[in-house]
Structure 1
Amino acid sequence: MSGIASKVALGVAGTGMAVAVAAVAVGPRVSDWYDGRHQEQASYATGTDAKADRRTMPAWLPDNASSVRYLMSTTGDDRLLTATLPDGRLPAGCTTVTPGKGTHPMPATLKAGWFPEGVAAKVTGTCGHYNVTLTGNQLYAWQDGAAVQAALRAGQHTKH
């Protein structure tokens, strides 16, 4: 190989290596970007506003709930929801459960700074397919898409 040809070959190989290194370095950010593309997040002043804007908002959310925050997967049924309830009681149609009984899976695909870690261990009820924890007047609710699909296959057709 001539001197010029070997320099060109080294230059091309070096450029290819630099691109590969850059792709590896950027990889985690690309993964975060990709995961985030399959999630939608929203905040609402009231439960009425939330239900009017988003058909996936659970019907059991009280109209007078305030400070509603919602995160959902667009590729499944995973959901996180928090709201302030003025009366500090579980919404109508929800069922109280004994804390610590049974499994209450959190959606593995969703995380939000406004949704506390470890809340699944403090479940106080269920609302449709959602598990809920009520702390004072603060409601935390989550829905695991895999559990929803399993329930639907088993014939439990409760809406949201």
Structure 2
Amino acid sequence: MRGVLIGVVGAVAVLGVAAAVAVPEAKEWYDGRHEQTSSYATGKEAKEERESVPRWLPDDAASVEYAMRTTGGERILKATLHDGSLPSECEVLGGKSAPDPEISASWFPSGAAKDVTGRCGSYYVSLEDRTLYAWQTNDDWVKENRRSAR
């Protein structure tokens, strides 16, 4: 009987360790498989190939990087703007704070929300020299889609 008990305890310990390793890896796999990243030469190309790229992105924007979550409205965007200024559709926000992006990519800076420059539609934007960083939270995406559905 003692041997059976030791065997059961050992099996439970092994399963516990396996679960401790597998669950975080499964979550990472699940989250990652619902994210898509794309690169485009211009804003025009990005908008033609992906409907979810914001329409306010200038056609002549260059070196466009875009990432999105397919299970919600989380988006991040990086682009080089030729004139170095926000598109005309955007609103400048003076000193307001913004929520952090809900997804990440190696090309997107971690402190963008601290340096928010304005809003372009449902996106927060930060402009550094001629590089535009933009992000949309799921909550803002939901609000935007409710407005456009009316």
TM-score computed with the length of structure 2 as normaliser:
0.85
Q: 1:123 matched to which residue of 2?
A: 116
Question: Which of 100, 105, 110 is matched with 1:106 structurally?
Answer: 100
Distance in 1 (CA, whole Å) between partners of 2:4 and 2:41 is: 62
Q: Post-superposition shift, 1:61?
A: 0.7
Query: What are the residue-to-residue correspondences of 1:6-85 with 2, within 5 Å?
Result: 14-15=10-11, 17-85=13-81
Q: 2:140 matched to which residue of 1?
A: 147
- Aligned residue for 1:57, secondary structure, equals coil
Q: Are the counterparts in 2 of residues 106 and 143 from structure 1 also a CA contact under 8 Å?
A: no
Unaligned regions of 5+ residues in structure 2, if any?
Answer: none
Q: Post-superposition shift, 1:7?
A: 5.8
Distance in 1 (CA, whole Å) between partners of 2:84 and 2:64 is: 14
Asked if residue 136 in structure 1 is aligned to residue 129 in structure 2, the reply is: yes
Q: Post-superposition shift, 1:8?
A: 7.2
**Over aligned residues, Cα RMSD in angstroms?**
2.2
Q: Post-superposition shift, 1:36?
A: 0.8
Q: Post-superposition shift, 1:20?
A: 3.2
Higher Rg: 1
Q: Post-superposition shift, 1:133?
A: 0.8
Unaligned regions of 5+ residues in structure 1, if any?
Answer: none
Q: Post-superposition shift, 1:9?
A: 7.4
Aligned sequence identity (%): 47
Distance in 2 (CA, whole Å) between partners of 1:48 and 1:146 is: 27
Question: Which of 89, 95, 103 is matched with 2:91 structurally?
Answer: 95
Distance in 1 (CA, whole Å) between partners of 2:46 and 2:139 is: 24
Which is further off, 13-22 or 73-82?
Answer: 13-22
